[in-house]
Amino acid sequence: MNKLSTLAVFSFLLLSVLFSGCASQLQHNQMKFGIQSAQKDLWDEAIFRWEKSIRSGYNSAAAHNNLGVAYEKKGMMDEAEKEYKIALKLDPGNEHIQSNYTKFKKYWKEPEKAEEEKDEKK
């Protein structure tokens, strides 16, 4: 009886992990598909995937960060800034999001400073 109940608990845990894994795997696939689209310069498709991912409840910092990048590429600066801010709120310690947002601010808000730094690096 004891063995049977242990087995039942393990099975329940295993199934719940598998189901949650499947759901997050679907979202992960959406995210990856968006990234692949962006790498092929298909930014509208990428935006569609990441927006869909967020709409379906996957409110991750990654999705918002990627949308920030995509909006920046499309020249939608206000939307990009909004997405970067949400991403940072969700994952304040993420160095990639921090880097993106810092570069975004430097490039669009202080273009002359960015120009000088570029020349100094040369």
Partner 1 sequence: MKRNRIFLLLLIFLVLYSCKTGNYWKIKLELPVKTNLDISQYKNIVIANFFLKDDKNDFEINPVLLEYLSSELSQDLDKTISTKNIVLDNEEIFQNKDFWKGQAPEEDATAFLTGSIEYTSETRKALMGKYKKQFDNPFPNKNRLASRKFYNLKMNVYFINAATGEVIYNTNFKETQAYENPNQTAEFAFFDQIHKVKEKLFRQMLGGERIQQRYLISK
Q: Which of residues 46-85 bind partner 1 (CB under 8 A)?
A: 60-62, 65-66, 69, 72-73, 75
Q: What's the closest the beta carbon of residue 34 comes to partner 1, in angstroms?
A: 8
Query: Can residue 7 be called a binding residue for partner 1 (CB under 8 A)?
Result: yes
Q: Is 50 in contact with 31 (CB distance < 8 Å)?
A: yes
Out of 6, 19, 26, 92, which residue is the one contacting partner 1 (CB under 8 A)? Answer: 6
Output the six-digit token pair for 8: 């039942």
Query: Can residue 26 be called a binding residue for partner 1 (CB under 8 A)?
Result: no
Q: Is 56 in contact with 66 (CB distance < 8 Å)?
A: no
Out of 19, 59, 115, 117, which residue is the one contacting partner 1 (CB under 8 A)? Answer: 115
Sign of the torsion formed by the C-alpha atoms of 34, 37, 41 and 47: negative
**Which residue in 50, 56, 64, 120 sits closest to 92, CA to CA?**
64
Query: Can residue 86 be called a binding residue for partner 1 (CB under 8 A)?
Result: no
